[in-house]
Amino acid sequence: MEYKLKTIGVLTSGGDAPGMNAAVRAVTRAAISNGIAVKAIYRGYKGLMDGEIQTFSSENVSGIIQRGGTILRSARSEEFKTAEGRKKAYETIRKEKIDALIVIGGDGTFTGARTLAQEYNIPIIGIPGTIDNDLWGTDATIGYDTALNTIMNCVDILRDTATSHERVFLVEVMGRDAGFLTLNAALASGAETAIIPERTTIMEQIEEAIGQGRRKSKGTSIVLVQEHAIEGGAQAVAKMIEKAHPEYGTRVTILGHLQRGGSPSAFDRILASRMGIAAVQALLEEQRSVMVGLQDGEITYVPLSKAIKEKKDVKADKWQALQVLSI
Ligand code: ATP
C-alpha cells in the first residue's frame, strides 16, 4: 500500500516498565525531526478505542527521561481482543489521520498489534518494553535492566538482616512465563539458587542449596522464586521446605510491584532512546509489523510474528554458573 507518513501514533501498553518514557521521548523527537507529527495515545489500546489522544510537541516529552512508569499511562483491555474493539481502534486511527503506529509493550501488546495490522493494513512497529525480557529476537527489553538492579538491591538489603541461623529466605520475583529476571538476579545477588519455570527440580534444588549452605555453616540461604515457577509461588516453596525440614524457619518476601518502578538505569535509557529512533526509522523505510531488537549490541528488526511465537531460553552457562557459585 502506498502511504504518506505524515502522522504517527505512539502508545504504551501492558505492564509498565522503567524506560518507557525514554522511548516515548525518542519516538516523539525522532519523528518531529523528520517532519512527522506525533499523536500520543493514552492508556494503550483502551485509549486508542476511546480516542484519548493528544498531539505532542518536543516540549511534551521534556524532563521525562529519568521518570519511571509511563506518562502515557498503560492499560490492559479485554475489549481490544475482540474484532469490535479493534474496529473502534481503527475508527480512531482514521479519524485522527494516523498513518502508522508505534506500540511499546510486551508479548500481548505485539499480539494485538499484529492482528490490527493484518485486519486493517496499518504499518505498526513494536518496541519491546517489559521487565520480563521474554521476547525472542532481542537480548534485552526496556525495563529489564532496571528491574534486575532493583531486585538485586532488595536482596542485598534482605541479606543484611538475614543473620539468624538456619533460615531460608525466599524472594518472589516477577517474570510471567520466563525466568530471566529471577536467574540473573540470583546470579547478581549471590543467591543459593533460583526456582524458574525453565528448570523445575524444586526440592532437589532446595536440598542442594540448604545442604551446601549448612556445610559452609552459612546459616542463611537465599532462594529466588519466579512467581509462576510453581503454583502459589514463594509461599508454596516455603510450605514444601517446612514440610520436609521442620527445623528450618522460612521467610517469604514478595517484591511485587516494587520491581516495576523506579528511575530507569542508564542502560535502559540508552536502549529506549536507540529503539525509539530505530522505530521511526523503520517506518521511514516502510517496514511494517516488525519489532525493534538489540542483538550483540546492534539494533535489529525482527518480524512481530517471530518475536511473539519463538521461545527464548535462559542461557545454559548462567544456570551452570549459579550451581557452581553456590557451593
Ligand atoms: P507485559 O509482558 O509487561 O505483561 P504485555 O504487552 O504482554 O506486557 P498484556 O496485558 O498481555 O501485556 O497485553 C497488553 C494488551 O494487549 C492487552 O490488554 C490487550 O488489549 C492486548 N492483547 C493482548 N493479547 C491480545 C490478543 N491475543 N489479541 C488482541 N489483543 C491482545
pLDDT in tens, 182-239: 999 999 999 989 999 988 777 777 777 776 555 555 567 899 999 999 999 999 999 9
- So what's the pLDDT on residue 3? 60
Cα 199 from Cα 205, distance rounded (Å): 10
Q: Could you tell me the distance, in angstroms and rounded to a whole number, from the CA of residue 167 to the centre of ligand 1?
A: 39
Which burial class, exposed, middle or buried, applies to 167 when counting CB atoms under 10 A from its CB (0-12, 13-18, 19+)?
Answer: middle
Per-residue pLDDT reduced to its tens digit, 24-68: 999 999 999 999 999 999 999 999 999 999 999 999 999 999 999
Give me the mean pLDDT over the 238-262 stretch: 91
At 132, the amino acid letter reads D
Per-residue pLDDT reduced to its tens digit, 146-192: 999 999 999 999 988 766 557 889 999 999 889 999 999 999 999 98
Q: Is 43 in the pocket of ligand 1 (CB under 6 A)?
A: no
Cα 246 from Cα 215, distance rounded (Å): 18
- So what's the pLDDT on residue 165? 58
Catalytic residue list contains 132: yes
Give me the mean pLDDT over the 103-111 stretch: 96
To test the ligand 1 pocket, which listed residue (13, 88, 120) has its Cβ within 8 A of the most ligand atoms?
13
Q: What is the mean pLDDT of the chain?
A: 92
Q: Is 132 in the pocket of ligand 1 (CB under 6 A)?
A: yes
How many C-beta atoms surround the C-beta of residue 63 within 10 A? 10
Q: Is 179 in the pocket of ligand 1 (CB under 6 A)?
A: no
Written as nine digits, the cell of 24 is 516515548
Ligand 1 atom having least distance to the Cα of 13: 14
- So what's the pLDDT on residue 1? 45
DSSP secondary structure string, 127-163? EEB-TT---TT-S--BTHHHHHHHHHHHHHHHHHH--
Residue nearest (by alpha carbon) to ligand 1 atom 13: 108
With a cut of 50, say whether residue 122 has pLDDT above it. Answer: yes
To test the ligand 1 pocket, which listed residue (11, 76, 104) has its Cβ within 8 A of the most ligand atoms?
76
Torsion of CA 153, 158, 163, 168, to 10 degrees: -120
Give me the mean pLDDT over the 272-283 stretch: 98
* Whole-number percent of the chain with pLDDT over 90: 78
Choose the catalytic residue: 16, 99, 107, 132.
132
Written as nine digits, the cell of 107 is 508479548
- So what's the pLDDT on residue 285? 97
- The residue among 222 and 1 whose pLDDT is bigger is 222
- So what's the pLDDT on residue 293? 98
